[in-house]
Chains A and B, each alone.
Chain A
Amino acid sequence: MKMEVKRYGMRWKIVLVFMVIGALRAKGASGSRLLLDESVVTYDNFITGTEANPLVLRTYFPDPGLSGEVLVNHAIGYRSRRYKMGEGDVEGFADPIRGIVAGIGVNFGGKLSYCWDTTECRLLFAWQGGFMDMTNDWGNPNDGRRGSYNNVPKIEGNLIYLTKGSHPLMILDEFTNTHSPKYHSMRLVGNVPEFAYKLGKAMVRVRITPGENPMTLVKSYFVTGVDRAEYHETDYDFSLVRKNSLEFSVKIEGRKDLVRADDAYLSESIRVPGGKIVEGFPSGFMPVYSLEDDQAESLVRFLKEEASQ
């Protein structure tokens, strides 16, 4: 009983303590320390992780064009009559927007970001470059303003993988319905998330990491509870390295139509502009310049400086 009384007293203390915290923050008077700050989220709406210490974020995600076949365990939202305070239903409609509701995002710095979905229990899409612009959801750091009728964060970088078709894992068991996975947990193994889900009698663990080459990623599977599991992938080249019938890794080659704009690419594009043409631009449009190596190098450096600003 004494403990209970103490707890009730502490509840009031907590409320008041945080009123004071709020006042302190407003005055910017706090000198308190954060001892482990690697994974703390700040006012930075473009927060990223690193390859050694990836950032894991649970939030809403944009839908870059996923098909209904992928989102088979989701329901469809419809437009509704617009509502206005004081008037009720008014002319016009409130349309649904495209977003993912229960995903987990992981960022390994510039090498890889991805969105794994806890409803479908599968990798939905992956991209390279930055992570996300969280302003629509978290608000502008200066005035707190959020997206207008849009709370979906934006992807920063280039999409390299967008999943298609049915669930990629096949359990060779006639009683397993691979269309109804059940999310179980996320475990951080050496800072890298490993997702676990049930697929019929099987318990599946999967870890997704950057590949060695640009535009690649690796999915490592560990399956228990069944005799054998198979993997299939729609529209992307992949290589499967099997340790045994239930433990294997899949290296996926991302979009082939993407080219990394590194120094060599920029230099080639200046000297031989017809060598690679960006989709949507006419060929033979840019004149050919004859430049020395150091001149081309200077131009590339100038372009990179401009881009960084």
Chain B
Amino acid sequence: MKMVISCLVLVSAFLFLSRTRANDRSGNSCYTVETVGFPGGVPLEVGAMGLNEDGELVVALRRGNILIGKLSSDPDATDWRVFAQALHNACGMHVVSRSEVIVSQMPELTRIVDTDGDGQADLYENLYSEWGIGGNYHEINSLVSDGAGGYYVALGTASYNSPTYYHVRGGYSKIGRRGRNYSAVSWKGWLLHIDQTGETTPWSSGFRMQNGILLDRDGNLWSGDNQGDWKGTTPFYHLRRGHFKGTRAAWCGSQDGIGRRIRSSFRPRRGAL
């Protein structure tokens, strides 16, 4: 009898798993596919996106614009309007409201506001710009709101396949410049927490290129990282304060005063790789 029950349990489990996998393959139980049209002639080089309270899609493009699309059941009837301009490769976005968006662009964390209600942003306020910028295309970043008025900003390293400039912002480290992915200027390969007062805390380090960061409903921080040097495969990280994730260049960044001071107060945890 025991054998029969065990067999029944196994068969039931097999059938259940098979059914679940079949559903996962089709995706019907997980998500809905919607088709959205996009205006021709505008490069669809998406750095970040979000939804506002009206259910409109807010999209940051590499060449500087933020477009807002009013979604429609007819893809060709999707209307887009320009919300913002003049952003340098924004790859992180937090949509605050229909008139306010926070983005992390190459040189700064920026608050973008439509103050006169005409549908287009007219104020671009610098919230934070203390990280380094060396001119390398790979030094992009992403952000997530901490839910308390502050932000976590994930800063990627630079690539050997592109140069740094003769004049850079955020100090310069000759050692940090060496190798494949490098951190010649401040905070490349780090996750910074910037609270609502602007107080900055280095949260964790050793990233190559996070490619996105997420805060879940339970307050857990997650990020990806990009396969490459010091990364045998593309990981998905649960981020905790003090963790070091393996890309050593992050610790070789600029040796200017603020970098040394904050790094000296940062305590990496053992076995947190």
Footprint of B on A, CB under 8 Å? 4, 7, 9-10, 12-14, 16-18, 20-22, 24-25, 28-43, 55-60, 63, 66, 71, 73-78, 80-81, 83, 85, 88-89, 94-102, 104, 118-119, 134, 137-138, 149-152, 183-189, 193
Flag if A118 contacts B79 (CB, 8 Å): no
Would you call B92 an interface residue if the criterion is a C-beta within 8 Å of the partner chain's C-beta atoms?
A: no
12 contacts between A and B (CB under 8 A): A14-B49, A30-B37, A41-B43, A41-B65, A78-B177, A88-B179, A89-B178, A101-B165, A101-B168, A104-B86, A183-B129, A189-B122
Q: Which of B6-14, B17-25, B130-138 contacts A (4 or more CB under 8 A)?
A: B130-138
Q: Assuming A13-B34, A14-B49, is B86 touching A56 (CB within 8 A)?
A: yes
8 closest Cβ contacts across the A-B interface? A32-B37, A31-B76, A102-B107, A56-B86, A41-B63, A30-B37, A58-B88, A34-B39
Report the bound CA distance from A55 to B63 in whole Å: 12
Besides the known contacts A33-B79, A36-B81, 18 further A-B residue pairs in the complex with CB atoms under 8 A apart: A12-B30, A13-B31, A16-B33, A20-B34, A21-B44, A31-B76, A32-B79, A35-B79, A38-B82, A42-B42, A58-B87, A59-B88, A63-B166, A71-B167, A75-B169, A78-B177, A85-B160, A101-B107
* Option from A4, A75, A99 in Cβ contact (under 8 Å) with B170: A75
Report the bound CA distance from A17 to B44 in whole Å: 13
Flag if B41 contacts A77 (CB, 8 Å): no
Would you call B235 an interface residue if the criterion is a C-beta within 8 Å of the partner chain's C-beta atoms?
A: no
Q: Assuming A60-B135, A94-B163, is B126 touching A24 (CB within 8 A)?
A: no
Residues on A with beta carbons closer than 8 Å to the beta carbon of B37? 21, 24, 29-32
Flag if A17 contacts B34 (CB, 8 Å): yes
Report the bound CA distance from A80 to B31 in whole Å: 48
Within 8 A of A (CB), among B235-252: none
Flag if A4 contacts B79 (CB, 8 Å): no
Residues on A with beta carbons closer than 8 Å to the beta carbon of B39? 30, 32-34, 37
Report the bound CA distance from A78 to B120 in whole Å: 41
Chain B nearest CB from A122 CB (Å) reads: 14
Residue of A nearest to B127 (CB): A185
Flag if B178 contacts A83 (CB, 8 Å): yes
Chain B nearest CB from A203 CB (Å) reads: 13
Q: Assuming A42-B43, A83-B180, A183-B129, is B107 touching A75 (CB within 8 A)?
A: no
SS of B interface (majority): loop
SS of A interface (majority): mixed
Would you call B171 an interface residue if the criterion is a C-beta within 8 Å of the partner chain's C-beta atoms?
A: yes
Flag if B172 contacts A34 (CB, 8 Å): no
Flag if A185 contacts B126 (CB, 8 Å): yes
Interface string of B191-232 (1 = CB under 8 A from A): 000000000000000000000000001000000000000000
Q: Assuming A78-B172, A183-B129, A187-B122, is B38 touching A24 (CB within 8 A)?
A: yes
Residues on A with beta carbons closer than 8 Å to the beta carbon of B125? 184-185
Flag if B163 contacts A119 (CB, 8 Å): no
Report the bound CA distance from A17 to B38 in whole Å: 11
Report the bound CA distance from A192 to B135 in whole Å: 27
Chain B nearest CB from A81 CB (Å) reads: 6
Residue of A nearest to B50 (CB): A14
Report the bound CA distance from A152 to B162 in whole Å: 11
Report the bound CA distance from A76 to B132 in whole Å: 12
Flag if A77 contacts B184 (CB, 8 Å): yes
* Option from A20, A36, A100 in Cβ contact (under 8 Å) with B35: A20
Chain A nearest CB from B56 CB (Å) reads: 12
Report the bound CA distance from A185 to B166 in whole Å: 26
* Option from B88, B166, B180, B184 in Cβ contact (under 8 Å) with A97: B166
Residues on A with beta carbons closer than 8 Å to the beta carbon of B179? 83, 88-89
